[in-house]
Amino acid sequence: MIGLGRFGCHLAGSLTRLGHRVLAVDRDPDRVQRWSAVLDRVVQADATEEQALRQLGIDDFTRVVVAIGASVEASVLTVLALTEVGVPQVWARATSRKHAKILASVGAHHVVFPEAETGERVAHLIVSRMLDFMEFGDDFAIAKVPVPPPLVGHRLRDLAVQERYGVMVVGAKPAGERFRYADPDTVLGPGSVLIVEGGIARVQQFAALR
Ligand code: ADP
């Protein structure tokens, strides 16, 4: 993980909680000191320097994330250095569409644009009753929605959700219980939360049913 700003440290923390060993790199000694107490291995280095990366043994890593955002120059030069070293999977964080294009053109294998992705997702949540929403491209989405009031008390088999609403209910969480796979006998009790998938407009219309 290169760059322990707000994005990088959250990502490094999440990877650690998922059970992965993370080497974190930042050029700022204060950040290195602060995160040494929290993360497994934190070192100070300028990641734009290919030699410094080699000294860290970066060529043994299969995945490196460049989480630098504010300095486009540092982010691009770091990706270049990593591709020179031959890291098989370079993930890079972009802070604008142009930045994303440059990162891809200098060899980043995966580019994420967290501000744009989160902004888009949160926009969907703000204007709807959806509790969570994820778009997969090609007009396909999955959403977490409270059971629409007109469907409360009905069995999925009787509702013919797919035929009537064009979405598929794949999971249901009865009030106070855990999520379960939905099946034709699932009854949509009051306070249930559903996982539905389908075309974006259809998923939104389903969530808005009243
Ligand atoms: P955020 O928006 O997630 O807070 P920033 O871009 O502000 O991200 O922070 C990026 C981090 O990357 C900072 O901690 C900074 O010290 C570090 N950084 C910037 N340039 C380099 C570099 N050349 N080598 C290593 N770390 C760097």
Which amino acid is located at 207 in the chain? A
Q: Is residue 195 a contact partner of residue 179, using CB atoms and an 8 Å limit? A: yes
Rounded distance between C-alpha atoms, residue 167 and residue 163, angstroms: 8
Among the three residues 112, 145, 161, which one is the final residue of a domain in this structure?
112
- Decide whether any atom of ligand 1 lies within 6 Å of the 26 Cβ: yes
Rounded distance between C-alpha atoms, residue 113 and residue 104, angstroms: 12
User: How would you classify residue 39: left for phi > 0, otherwise alpha for psi between -120 and 50, otherwise beta?
Assistant: beta
Residue 3 has pLDDT above 90, yes or no: yes
Same domain, residue pair 101 and 18: yes
Q: With residue 196 as reference, give the H or E element that holds it.
A: strand 193-198
Is 87 domain-assigned? yes
Q: Which two tokens stand for residue 63?
A: 């995945």
Same domain, residue pair 29 and 85: yes
In the prediction, which pLDDT does 47 show? 98
CATH of the domain at 146: 3.30.70.1450
Is 53 domain-assigned? yes
37 alpha carbon – ligand 1 mean position (Å): 18
Q: Please state the rounded mean pLDDT for residues 69-77.
A: 97
Same domain, residue pair 12 and 48: yes
Question: What ipTM, to 2 d.p.?
Answer: 0.97
In 10 A of CB 95, how many CB atoms? 18
Rounded distance between C-alpha atoms, residue 191 and residue 209, angstroms: 15
Q: Please state the rounded mean pLDDT for residues 170-188.
A: 97
pTM: 0.88
In the prediction, which pLDDT does 121 show? 92
Is 54 domain-assigned? yes
Same domain, residue pair 184 and 101: no
Q: Show the domain range for 140.
A: 118-207
Same domain, residue pair 134 and 101: no
Same domain, residue pair 19 and 42: yes
**Domains identified in the chain, total number:** 2
Same domain, residue pair 152 and 105: no
Q: Is residue 76 a contact partner of residue 100, using CB atoms and an 8 Å limit? A: no
Q: Ligand 1: which of 1, 31, 66, 71 to mutate, most ligand atoms within 8 Å of CB?
A: 71
- Decide whether any atom of ligand 1 lies within 6 Å of the 2 Cβ: yes
Q: What is the pLDDT of residues 26-55, one digit of tens each?
A: 999 999 999 998 888 999 999 999 999 999
Determine the distance from the C-alpha atom of residue 81 to the mean position of all C-alpha atoms in its chain, rounded to a whole number.
25
- Decide whether any atom of ligand 1 lies within 6 Å of the 114 Cβ: no
